[in-house]
Amino acid sequence: MTDWDDGRTPPAEQPPSMGRLVEQISEQATRLVRAEIALAKAEMADKAKRSGIGVGLFAVALVIVLYAVGVLIWSGIIGLAEAWPLWLSALVVGVAMMLFAALLVLVGVRLLKQAAKRPETIDRVKDDVASVKEGISR
């Protein structure tokens, strides 16, 4: 039985003090940050698992492609051996592969040289900084 069973109305509940509100905000912010960190960890673990599986499948596919290329090269040699001796067809295919690899190297070197150039953006930013410095010094 409560004290207020006699028909009197209980006093209105007092609003929380400023200190209590700050304490509640602090507790809730801490809980929210911890929950977000836990969620981020779970998401990252899931992404890492999926990425690992994807990389593994990619590696298996790469090995299969490597063997397939070897089979295709050998079939090319055997096909040329119908018209030429086997040693000559193997030599022609080998030289053709070396020329193709050299072409890829030349293109790769050209692309690396282009990538090694300093970006124009850096030059423009340096010009902008010099202009600002000049404007400030006036």
Q: pLDDT per residue over 31-77, tens digit each?
A: 999 999 999 999 999 899 989 999 999 999 999 999 999 999 999 99
Provide the residue ranges of all domains of the chain, joining segments of one domain with +.
81-138
Residue 3 phi/psi, 5° resolution?
A: -70, -20
Residues in the chain, total: 138
Model's pTM, two decimal places?
0.52
pLDDT value for 59: 96
pLDDT value for 95: 97
Q: Whole-angstrom Cα distance, residue 77 to residue 57? A: 30
> How many whole angstroms from its chain centre is CA 92?
42
pLDDT value for 19: 87
DSSP state of 119: P
Looking at 81-119, list the stretches that DSSP marks H as alpha helix, in order from N- to C-terminal side: 86-116
pLDDT value for 56: 95
Q: Whole-angstrom Cα distance, residue 70 to residue 72? A: 5
Q: pLDDT per residue over 121-133, tens digit each?
A: 777 778 878 887 7
Q: pLDDT per residue over 82-113, tens digit each?
A: 999 999 999 999 999 999 999 999 999 999 98
Q: How confident is residue 6, by pLDDT bands cut at 50, 70 and 90?
A: low
Is 3 or 136 the better-scoring residue by pLDDT? 136
C-alpha distance from residue 9 to each of 2, 3, 16, 81, 129 (Å): 12, 10, 20, 108, 73
Q: Which residue has the tokens 């960190």?
A: 37
